């Protein structure tokens, strides 16, 4: 079992104070970096679920096309284009009619919009999950949790889930695919069967924010569920751009839903809801030169992640849960406390991981580790091995 | 009366098509610039209500502090700080306790948040106005328009308004100060009297998005109403940063309201609702070196605007309505059509003005003209004089 040094204990206190000031979720790395008492320690942000190679790619285009030109001034000064206009660009890229597309200031804005505007009764949320899916629900009595079973590695037991939903008969269900925080992936065939069985549910929210990291074939072909929109009008697909494109700071996401829903949202809000830089990103994403480059960094990162998780799973005293996303849920098996593990990794190794003590639906001590660049993953692996070995002393 | 050439008529058609595709409000200048048929013509965007000197100032800091450093990468890659954390910076700058501050992705997000979460019945909206204040109301029957009278130059007849509100006894009223689209300004003393008389109204939304351009003394001291929050807990002040700081493309705004209201919003949404660049802006705004520089460009722009509107009012065949904002409402007195005027100014002079035929509550042909830089204002003035003179031919 892990023990903290005196310095690490002081650091834990500082960290806790900072967290209480900065809102829910983990303190952002920017906050930590700006804080004298803590930030100087961070070397690898393994809290942060994004493809660093894609960030590099975006920055390359940004510097080439914006920084050395007058376009940046225009993007900062002028009102950005509105939702429907950006949807036109994206439409060609993802092959979905523009009137099905709602552009969001990050996926989180779309989650909020859908929950506040379309969820009108009981909502089934699988736990563990991304907490906004229940935090944003205004009537707490409407929330019904479906506990993913630890015995099944927190993977969805599909038939059990279908029976549960049929019994509960909710207004809305939420599926995150791959799931956050564990990375469990429902394949296309199973998903189609589930949607067929659950066609009576008014809204099926399918969050595909991590889908660019999933794969079903050796070509690592890109997956999405947009072709299901015609057969399943109750489907609402939500997609973040923060993870796959490594641009969380820009705020960009989209939702795919029936045109009536898009119209309802745009008729009551969401004027200029994304920045000029987000618009620039969506324009870039519609360009073939960018898409070709992106496909390379996406596949490179998937393979990088595969190697990393494979190697991580060989570390003693932890269990790495099966994942087809760019992160893994890791259980500490020797009685160590997840917050203390996080603090030791950060203070003594500069590795910032997400500890999961605030995640409901997890039974045990868990952290979530993101895959980063190859070099950063080596640092993460070495730190883990070192911490878990040093415990014996 | 104004006549369009054949080329101008074709241009009008293209412009109308573009507008129908791009959502409500005027097509953004970025759209126009990117459109083959129209964009090449724009030289001065006098639609756009912002201080160009402040944009230059922000870009100067941005280039110095971000572009040549690694900070930009971090801002793009990492999740931005959350609402409460940004509020801490702003708190010192505007001298308001942080728990009264809600940070918004532009003022428009705050308008939407307030209308959707706190307006629970009749809402009195003065017309002409900024259209989102009634468009965002979901129950259209709740909207009661208060018509500002043309005889009073669309200025608020304070006693008449108070009597109207007392008679209607609404849940919410909206005051924009200075008002958009005409720039009428209610001074602090009158405002205090109005709030005292109308203390029975549950929500008083006070939109001060243009207040940095207003003044009550020769020092052009900055005005705000935050000191009224203690006496009037029903007050909700909304503030855009797009106009005074010339950064519409970033999306930044804030609302000042009772802590319970801020808590309610943050407990049900608005996680990571602004970008990392918006956070950078708010940090900058909290710095004295930036504030000192900003004060200079603010005053320079106010004086520039004063000269511009004074000169504009001498142009024949138009009436310039009194304004203490950075724009003026202009009535075409000779029977010219406002859309045709806008097209001629854009096509033949490169001047893009806001025509107001879609604004409810205006009786006549109106355009709204923004003050820009000194040099751009000269171009606007010359174009207006030329168009209005050439009409006689």
Q: What is the set of domains in chain B, with CATH numbers?
A: 6-55+292-390 (3.90.1150.10), 81-287 (3.40.640.10)
- DSSP-derived 3-state class of residue A46: coil
ipTM of the complex: 0.89
More confident residue, B148 or B69: B148
Give me chain B's average pLDDT, please: 93
CA B89/CA B98 separation, integer angstroms = 8
Find the closest chain B residue to A50 by CA distance.
B77
Which is nearest to A26 in space by CA: A169, A131, A112, A122? Answer: A131
Of these ranges, A41-45, B35-39, B234-238, the one predicted with the greatest mean pLDDT is: B234-238
Which is nearest to B81 in space by CA: B253, B284, B288, B283? Answer: B283
CA A215/CA A207 separation, integer angstroms = 16
pLDDT band of B235, cuts 50, 70, 90: very high
- In chain A, what is the straight-line distance between the N-terminal and C-terminal CA atoms, in Å? 9
Contacts of A132 in chain B (CB under 8 A): 271
CA B266/CA B104 separation, integer angstroms = 11
Find the closest chain B residue to A135 by CA distance.
B268
Which among B23, B59, B108 has CB closest to A76? B59
| Calculated CA dihedral for residues B364, B365, B371, B375, nearest 10 degrees | -150
Share of chain A above pLDDT 90, in %: 84
- Find residue B102's DSSP bridge partners: B255
Do the Cβ atoms of B105 and A251 come within 8 Å? Answer: yes
Count how many pairs of residues, chain A against chain B, have C-beta atoms within 8 Å: 207
Interface of B with A in 66-95 (CB under 8 A): 67, 72-85, 88
What pLDDT is recorded for position B206? 98
CA A95/CA A269 separation, integer angstroms = 25
What pLDDT is recorded for position B42? 80
CA distances from B277 to A251, A254, B259 (A): 10, 20, 26
What pLDDT is recorded for position B66? 87
**Residue A66 carries which DSSP code?**
I
- Find residue A207's DSSP bridge partners: A176, A238
Count of residues for chain B? Answer: 393
pLDDT of A87 above 90 = yes
Distance of CA B237 to the CA centre of its chain: 14
CA A54/CA B36 separation, integer angstroms = 31
Q: Which two tokens stand for residue A4?
A: 């903290």
Which is nearest to A39 in space by CA: A55, A56, A24, A27? Answer: A27
Which among A22, A55, A274 has CB closest to B85? A22
Which helix H or strand E contains A173, and what residues bound it? strand A172-176
- Following DSSP, what letter does each residue of B16-46 receive, concatenated? HHHHHHS-SSSPPHHHHHH-TTTGGG-SEET
Find the closest chain A residue to B46 by CA distance.
A78
CA A370/CA A213 separation, integer angstroms = 12
Contacts of B376 in chain A (CB under 8 A): none
Contacts of A251 in chain B (CB under 8 A): 80, 105, 272-275
Do the Cβ atoms of A268 and B30 come within 8 Å? Answer: no
Interface of A with B in 220-259 (CB under 8 A): 242, 246-251
Q: Which two tokens stand for residue A148?
A: 């993913």
Contacts of B248 in chain A (CB under 8 A): 77-80, 272, 276
Contacts of A275 in chain B (CB under 8 A): 249-251, 275, 277-278
pLDDT tens readout for residues B169-202: 999 999 999 999 999 999 999 999 999 999 999 9
Determine whether A127 is exposed, middle or buried from the number of CB atoms within 10 Å of its CB (0-12, 13-18, 19+): middle
In the block, residue with structure tokens 């809402």: B123
What pLDDT is recorded for position A393? 44
Count of residues for chain A? Answer: 393
Is A329 within 8 Å of A323 (Cβ atoms)?
yes
What pLDDT is recorded for position B55? 95
Do the Cβ atoms of A273 and B105 come within 8 Å? Answer: yes
- DSSP-derived 3-state class of residue A115: helix
Contacts of B277 in chain A (CB under 8 A): 249, 275, 277
Quote the crossing angle between the two packed helices A276-285 and A52-62, to the nearest 10°: 100
Separation in Å, CA of A77 to nearest CA in chain B: 5
Q: Where are the alpha helices (DSSP H) in chain A?
A: 6-21, 29-34, 52-62, 71-77, 83-94, 107-118, 132-135, 158-168, 188-197, 259-267, 276-285, 288-312, 338-349, 374-390
- DSSP-derived 3-state class of residue A379: helix
Separation in Å, CA of A200 to nearest CA in chain B: 27
pLDDT of A138 above 90 = yes
Q: Which two tokens stand for residue A167?
A: 């019994």
pLDDT of A168 above 50 = yes
Read off the pLDDT of each residue in B66-73 and give the average, rounded to a whole number: 81
What pLDDT is recorded for position B40? 56
CA A180/CA B9 separation, integer angstroms = 55
pLDDT tens readout for residues B284-302: 999 999 999 999 999 999 9
What pLDDT is recorded for position B218? 92
pLDDT band of A10, cuts 50, 70, 90: confident
The set of residues, in sequence order, having a beta carbon less than 8 Å from that of B304 and lying 6+ positions away, is: B371, B373, B374, B377
Share of chain A above pLDDT 70, in %: 93
Neighbours of B230 (CB within 10 A): 9
Interface of A with B in 90-129 (CB under 8 A): 105-106, 108-109, 112, 116
pLDDT band of A20, cuts 50, 70, 90: confident
| pTM score, whole prediction | 0.92
Read off the pLDDT of each residue in A316-336 and give the average, rounded to a whole number: 96
- Among A21, A102, A271, most B C-beta atoms within 10 A, so best to mutate, is A271
- Among B51, B275, B279, B370, most A C-beta atoms within 10 A, so best to mutate, is B275
């Amino acid at each position: 079992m892990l023990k903290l040094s005196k310095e690490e204990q002081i650091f834990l206190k500082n960290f806790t104070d900072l967290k209480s000031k900065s809102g829910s979720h983990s303190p952002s790395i920017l906050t930590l970096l700006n804080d004298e008492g803590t930030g100087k320690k961070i070397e690898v942000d393994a809290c942060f679920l994004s493809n660093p190679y894609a960030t590099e790619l975006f920055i390359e285009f940004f510097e080439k096309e914006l920084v050395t030109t007058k376009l940046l001034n225009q993007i900062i000064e002028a009102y950005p284009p509105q939702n429907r206009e950006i949807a036109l660009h994206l439409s060609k890229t993802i092959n979905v009619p523009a009137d099905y597309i709602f552009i969001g200031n990050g996926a989180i804005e779309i989650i909020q919009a859908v929950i506040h505007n379309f969820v009108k009764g009981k909502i089934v949320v699988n736990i563990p999950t991304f907490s906004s899916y229940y935090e944003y629900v205004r009537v707490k009595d409407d929330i019904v949790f479906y506990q993913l079973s630890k015995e099944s590695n927190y993977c969805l037991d599909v038939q059990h889930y279908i029976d549960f939903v049929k019994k509960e008969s909710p207004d809305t269900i939420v599926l995150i695919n791959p799931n956050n925080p564990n990375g469990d992936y429902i394949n296309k065939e199973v998903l189609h069967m589930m949607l067929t069985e659950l066609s009576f549910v008014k809204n099926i929210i399918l969050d595909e924010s991590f889908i660019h990291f999933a794969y079903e074939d050796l070509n690592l072909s890109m997956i999405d569920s947009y072709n299901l929109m015609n057969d399943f009008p109750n489907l609402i697909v939500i997609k973040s751009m923060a993870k796959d494109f490594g641009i969380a700071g820009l705020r960009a996401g989209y939702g795919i839903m029936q045109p009536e829903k898009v119209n309802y949202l745009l008729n009551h809000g969401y004027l200029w809801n994304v920045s000029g830089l987000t618009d620039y990103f969506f324009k870039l994403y519609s360009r073939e030169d960018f898409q070709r480059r992106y496909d390379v960094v996406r596949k490179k990162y998937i393979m990088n992640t595969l190697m990393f998780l494979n190697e991580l799973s060989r570390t003693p005293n932890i269990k790495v849960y099966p994942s087809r996303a760019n992160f893994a849920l890791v259980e500490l098996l020797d009685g160590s406390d997840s917050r203390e593990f996080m603090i030791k990794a950060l203070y003594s190794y500069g590795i910032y991981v997400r500890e999961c003590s605030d995640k409901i639906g997890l039974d045990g001590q868990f952290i979530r580790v993101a895959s980063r660049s190859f070099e950063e993953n080596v640092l993460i692996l070495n730190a883990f091995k070192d911490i878990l070995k040093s415990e014996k002393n």
